[in-house]
Chains A and B, each alone.
Chain A
Amino acid sequence: MEARKNIVVKNRTGLHARPAAVFVQKASKYESDITIIKEDQEVNGKSIMGILMLAAEKGAKITIIARGDDAERAVEELSELLMHDVELNADNKNGGKTGR
């Protein structure tokens, strides 16, 4: 089974470090293989290094694809994570800001 969803990253800090770590932890709980595509880049959604390489900032358009038995649920939950302007992690000592 395959499920996919196109989303715009709404999370304020994009897919960086902490958010990326939370994403990877959640993704790893699913049986399905998770893939994220941004432009012409495709990475494994269970790999923190891969996700960091994407450098998906707020406003980035990405596609989440899951292949496996729990594909639908995986795509729903994972896209949910990135579509809200909330901190993904209660621990926000960094302020999650990008220091610009």
Chain B
Amino acid sequence: MTDQKHYFSKKKQIQIKGIPAAPGIAIGKAHVFGTENIVPQERRLSEGEIAGEIERFRKALKQTKEDLIGIEKRISREIGAEHGKIFNAHLLVLEDSVLVQEVITRLKKKKKNIELIFSDVLNKYISVLSKARDEYLRDRISDITDVGKRILRNLIGLEERNLEALDEKSVVVAYDLSPSETAMMYKSRVLGFATDIGGRTSHTAIMAKSLEIPAVVGLESITDMVQNGDQVILDGIHGTVIVNPNKRFLEKYRKEQKKYEYLEHELIELRSLPGETLDGKKVVIAGNIELPEDVASVISHGAEGIGLYRTEYFYMNRKDLPNEEEQFNAYKSVVMRIFPNYVVVRTLDLGGDKFLSQLDVPKEMNPFMGWRAIRFCLARPDIFKSQLRAILRASAFGNLKLMYPMVSGVREVRQANEVLEEVKHKLRREGIPFNEDIPIGAMIEVPSAAITSDILAKECDFFSIGTNDLIQYALAVDRVNEKIAYLYEPTHPAVLSLIKMVIDNGHRAKIPVGLCGEMAGDVSLTMILLGLGLDEFSTSPIAVPEVKKIVRSIDYSEAKKIAEEVLTFNTGREVQEYARARLRDLIPDLAIELIPDL
């Protein structure tokens, strides 16, 4: 009976994952912004009407131009000139003589009303662009649609939908928002926004960041899942939207929100300070990146280097393979921007849950344990060599370290180094500069590598522990299977022992040991990892200030005691509870309740 009552009285909680566009957390009522699909009615024209129709078109273009100039001025004044410039491209579309001529010619030929002809022509262009291979080019569709809609509205005499007219503070949910609509959110009642489409390089995403409005884009079908007035949590840090959250989630996110605001405040102070304990032990607090443009976030969050540059993104969402030059330019720009700090470039880690569309790789029963990462690279020296060449060439421009992923034993390191030597030899012959002493490291994420880390340490210059995979392999827990998610425990005594073993073996061989999995950003574990002797924490940039804050608030001797203590515990749960209690004592604002992660 109670179940049924529950069913009728409560809406189901839904979680949707999208692309984080602007950080921050918004909690509030949803305001669903209807899709603005202007579908013009078809009307035949008599010969005598054609001239008048063309005149209407010219007038609408003129009106739209005036509107755009007005918006450009307003945005330049209120938000910044660089955002006003977006409308330069819009104006060019409007003044595009080829486009205008095409519309007029077609109108004369088809003898139909201008609204219909104009949207046909525009749609033709949009459909070509939507097939573009390049994400950046595809994102320009929203710019063209934006101008197109303006012209159509002026032709039909429609008002622009207005975000300034919200009755109460709301989280706006829409299929898409144009850059000008986003810009209008300035000083309005918009708490945050979520859209079905959009990518990381869309103007909407870029503008949301400078407006400091939390935003998640690319949610695909959020407009179908939310109704006006539904309560929503929008997490612009992780790119998640939760519709009709239950009490537990609500509480968790209210705290996250508070924490975010607290950190925003602290960030300014922490940014330029080193990762150093109260008693003077120095550790590196670095950031993980996927794209060269992520470097900005690494720097703004005060990270002291890049502990993991994932290079897979290069190879995804495209039909061909990236060439050496393209990779070299990306690596070089990262190396130069992060200098004098270092960047650890991880060679291609394809396989598991990420695969190439352009390579014919058979489906596997156990992809996480299959043909992936260094195994794949050693089998495809053509792909591997081109990446190594690009990395080596970039090493001449700053402080670059090279890391092999998914090493399971020392043989793989030797084999990879042989390929590397070949590439180095060729570069030398060609007279192309690179760092002869480029540090080579292994990512420790397979239990066999952790257990033989004493052997590996003799042939590596550094280690980085990849906990996401290490945990799943050590505990035999598929991390994408929800039914067994409760078994995925970073604090499991087996995991902690493996981490300790790797750190100790690294230190015995006098090489530094970092950790670049999600565990590095779990603030409740920072004290333990610090106490185990970790030299480098590499985490998503957003978690850098928290980790730094903790490191700077504790004595290393104290952290060591905590680590020794937790190593005597029998279950992961005990470790978790103890760690959280200690964190609560140390920095109450950072402590959050124990709720299973998303």
**Interface residue ranges, A against B (CB under 8 Å):** 12-14, 16-18, 20-21, 24-25, 43-44, 46-50, 52-53, 55, 57-59, 91, 93-95, 97-100
Q: Are A16 and B98 in contact (CB-based, < 8 A)?
A: no
A24 to B88, CA, bound (A): 11
Q: Are A98 and B201 in contact (CB-based, < 8 A)?
A: yes
Q: Are A100 and B313 in contact (CB-based, < 8 A)?
A: yes
3 closest Cβ pairs, A-B complex: A47-B98, A98-B136, A48-B92
A47-B97 contact given A52-B140, A55-B132, A99-B199, CB 8 Å threshold: yes
A95-B99 contact given A25-B92, A48-B93, CB 8 Å threshold: no
**Chain A positions within 8 Å of B296 at CB level:** 95
A97 to B326, CA, bound (A): 11
Q: Which of A24, A50, A97 contacts B201 (CB 8 A)?
A: A97
Q: Are A53 and B125 in contact (CB-based, < 8 A)?
A: yes
Q: Are B92 and A99 in contact (CB-based, < 8 A)?
A: no
- Does B371 make an interface contact (CB < 8 A)? no
Query: Of the 9-residue stretches B182-190, B264-272, B314-322, B537-545, which lies at the interface with chain A?
Result: B314-322
Q: Which of A12, A25, A52, A58 contacts B129 (CB 8 A)?
A: A52
- Does B206 make an interface contact (CB < 8 A)? yes
Least CB distance, B432 to chain A, in whole angstroms: 18
A52-B137 contact given A25-B92, A47-B97, CB 8 Å threshold: yes
A21-B318 contact given A47-B97, A53-B125, CB 8 Å threshold: no
Q: Are A94 and B199 in contact (CB-based, < 8 A)?
A: no
A83 to B237, CA, bound (A): 39
Q: Are A99 and B136 in contact (CB-based, < 8 A)?
A: yes
A16-B137 contact given A48-B96, A53-B128, A100-B318, CB 8 Å threshold: yes
Q: Which of A14, A25, A44, A93 contacts B82 (CB 8 A)?
A: A93
**Chain B positions within 8 Å of A49 at CB level:** 93, 96, 98-99, 125, 144
Give a binary string over B126-158; 1 marks a CB under 8 Å from any A CB, 0 the rest.
Answer: 001100111111001001100000000000000
Q: How many residues of B contact A (CB 8 A)?
A: 40
Least CB distance, B65 to chain A, in whole angstroms: 14
A99-B200 contact given A12-B329, A52-B129, A55-B134, CB 8 Å threshold: yes
Nearest-CB residue, chain B, relative to A12: B329
Q: Are B135 and A98 in contact (CB-based, < 8 A)?
A: yes
Nearest-CB residue, chain A, relative to B293: A95
- Does B85 make an interface contact (CB < 8 A)? yes
**Cβ contacts A to B, 10 pairs, < 8 Å:** A17-B137, A25-B92, A47-B96, A49-B93, A49-B98, A55-B134, A59-B325, A93-B83, A94-B201, A95-B296
Nearest-CB residue, chain A, relative to B94: A48
**Chain A positions within 8 Å of B89 at CB level:** 17-18, 20-21, 48
Least CB distance, B239 to chain A, in whole angstroms: 15
Q: Are B317 and A44 in contact (CB-based, < 8 A)?
A: no
Q: Are A21 and B88 in contact (CB-based, < 8 A)?
A: yes
Q: List B274-330 residues whose CB lies under 8 Å from chain A.
A: 291-293, 296, 313-314, 316-318, 322, 325-326, 329
Least CB distance, B403 to chain A, in whole angstroms: 21
**Chain A positions within 8 Å of B135 at CB level:** 98-100
Nearest-CB residue, chain A, relative to B135: A99
Q: Are A57 and B134 in contact (CB-based, < 8 A)?
A: yes
**Chain A positions within 8 Å of B143 at CB level:** 17
Least CB distance, B383 to chain A, in whole angstroms: 16
Q: Which of A44, A50, A95 has the most CB of B within 10 A?
A: A95
Nearest-CB residue, chain A, relative to B102: A49
**Chain A positions within 8 Å of B129 at CB level:** 52-53
A17-B136 contact given A24-B92, A91-B85, A97-B293, CB 8 Å threshold: yes
Q: Are B137 and A55 in contact (CB-based, < 8 A)?
A: yes
Q: Are A97 and B92 in contact (CB-based, < 8 A)?
A: no
**Chain A positions within 8 Å of B93 at CB level:** 48-49
A98 to B206, CA, bound (A): 14
A98-B97 contact given A12-B329, A24-B92, CB 8 Å threshold: no
**Chain A positions within 8 Å of B316 at CB level:** 100
**Chain B positions within 8 Å of A46 at CB level:** 97-98
A57 to B133, CA, bound (A): 10
**Chain A positions within 8 Å of B98 at CB level:** 43-44, 46-47, 49-50
Q: Are B317 and A100 in contact (CB-based, < 8 A)?
A: yes
A16-B96 contact given A21-B89, A49-B125, A100-B313, CB 8 Å threshold: no
**Chain A positions within 8 Å of B125 at CB level:** 49, 52-53
Interface contacts beyond A17-B89, A100-B318: sample of 19 additional A-B pairs, CB < 8 Å, sorted by A: A16-B134, A16-B140, A17-B136, A17-B143, A20-B89, A21-B88, A44-B97, A46-B98, A47-B97, A48-B92, A49-B96, A52-B125, A57-B134, A91-B82, A97-B201, A99-B136, A99-B201, A100-B134, A100-B135
Least CB distance, A22 to chain B, in whole angstroms: 9
A10 to B510, CA, bound (A): 45
**Chain B positions within 8 Å of A18 at CB level:** 89
Least CB distance, A46 to chain B, in whole angstroms: 7
Q: Which of A17, A20, A43, A99 has the most CB of B within 10 A?
A: A99
Q: Are B293 and A99 in contact (CB-based, < 8 A)?
A: yes
A94 to B200, CA, bound (A): 10
A28 to B98, CA, bound (A): 12
A6 to B291, CA, bound (A): 32
A25 to B93, CA, bound (A): 11
Q: Are A99 and B329 in contact (CB-based, < 8 A)?
A: no
Q: Which of B93, B98, B133, B140 has the most CB of A within 10 A?
A: B98
Q: Are B329 and A16 in contact (CB-based, < 8 A)?
A: no
Q: Are B314 and A100 in contact (CB-based, < 8 A)?
A: yes
Least CB distance, B93 to chain A, in whole angstroms: 6
Q: List B10-36 residues whose CB lies under 8 Å from chain A.
A: none
A16 to B134, CA, bound (A): 10
**Chain B positions within 8 Å of A98 at CB level:** 134-137, 201
Q: Which of A13, A25, A43, A53 has the most CB of B within 10 A?
A: A53
Q: Are B128 and A21 in contact (CB-based, < 8 A)?
A: no
Q: Are B140 and A95 in contact (CB-based, < 8 A)?
A: no
Nearest-CB residue, chain B, relative to A85: B329
Nearest-CB residue, chain A, relative to B141: A52
**Chain B positions within 8 Å of A52 at CB level:** 125, 129, 137, 140
